[in-house]
Structure 1
């Protein structure tokens, strides 16, 4: 695990990342935020992003749960992004893992899965073999993705959702908590229920 890591974002999500880094004995250089609502988080000082010289940042993780915000910051702030992986996560040696990802406690990622950049694989989530997860995706706690599932950029899969094998989920989709996905989902759709049904479509800029 890299050391001297800067976190961008002071929120509940960042608390979990701080804990992951502590479990790996990584050094946290600072926690920064655009609009800090607190001076400290888990004992670490929070500083404004305007007070940071990003050219001197060694490694960084965007510690913000909102997929769109992670996308925006990653395009604006060009630094060396690194991963945070909880020691209890199980990740096959045959997984392809991008940068800026957070893999939380108890997550399982099986062989030949591909994880893009700036993704969140949350607590206890299962990503089975040959899944392809694009950039800025959030796979929430206790989600299960069966084999050969494709998830498009920016999609949020809600807590406890299940996706059967071979399904393709488009970009910037929202899958509701506990939904069961048994057929492909188009871009920008909002899907809820068991079996999952489209209830509306997000706008491109949401």
Structure 2
């Protein structure tokens, strides 16, 4: 059985990742965070150590990057890989994942999520609580599908985009990279790179 997991990022998202890891069978979690540069501390019952000097020699079997900011998450995933350290994904046991779905390394799939047939989730993406990806959806690297988001079939999302809590996306829509979709928005047309959209129907702001 897996033993000790190192999690980079000791905020709220890190705690969700740690809780998921324990449900996935990891026996121990240790956090690494730059805020520990002046000395180790703890969050709850978990230790927090500094990075990067300690992370590659602290007897961890694998690592996970739990940082909400997409660019910072990318940076640290690339750092883990550059050190030839194992970068894993965490998929909550309560999530429903099609046998034909593809999930890259560094992905967090939180409790109650659904990833349907032939969907693909890129490196470092987050599929948050009760999010639903229907058939043939593609989620780009380091994008975040927030809690209770619903994507129809064949939706594509570029890299580093943020789909806010409870938004809905009609089937066959293409959402670009670095896009922000506001909470509760309804997306019924394609969205170009870098835009922020809100409302029903979603419109650029």
Match of 1:52 among 29, 54, 60: 54
2: CA distance, partners of 1:6 / 1:194: 41
Q: Using the TM superposition, give the Cα deviation of residue 35 of structure 1 relative to its aligned residue in structure 2, in angstroms.
A: 1.6
Residues 3 and 118 of structure 1: CA distance in aligned 2, closer, same or farther (over 3 Å): farther
In structure 1, the residue matched to 2:6 is 6
- What SS does the aligned partner of 1:177 have? coil
Q: Using the TM superposition, give the Cα deviation of residue 15 of structure 1 relative to its aligned residue in structure 2, in angstroms.
A: 0.9
In structure 1, the residue matched to 2:44 is 42
- What SS does the aligned partner of 1:70 have? helix
2: CA distance, partners of 1:106 / 1:76: 30
Which stretches in structure 1 are left out of the alignment for 5+ residues?
200-206
Q: Using the TM superposition, give the Cα deviation of residue 65 of structure 1 relative to its aligned residue in structure 2, in angstroms.
A: 1.2
Structure 1 range deviating more: 25-34 or 161-170: 25-34
Match of 1:90 among 96, 99, 102: 96
In structure 2, the residue matched to 1:137 is 143
2: CA distance, partners of 1:161 / 1:139: 9
Query: Is the CA contact (8 Å cut-off) linking 1:59 and 1:81 kept in structure 2?
Result: yes
Query: Is the CA contact (8 Å cut-off) linking 2:119 and 2:137 kept in structure 1?
Result: yes
Which stretches in structure 2 are left out of the alignment for 5+ residues?
none
> RMSD of the alignment, in Å?
1.7
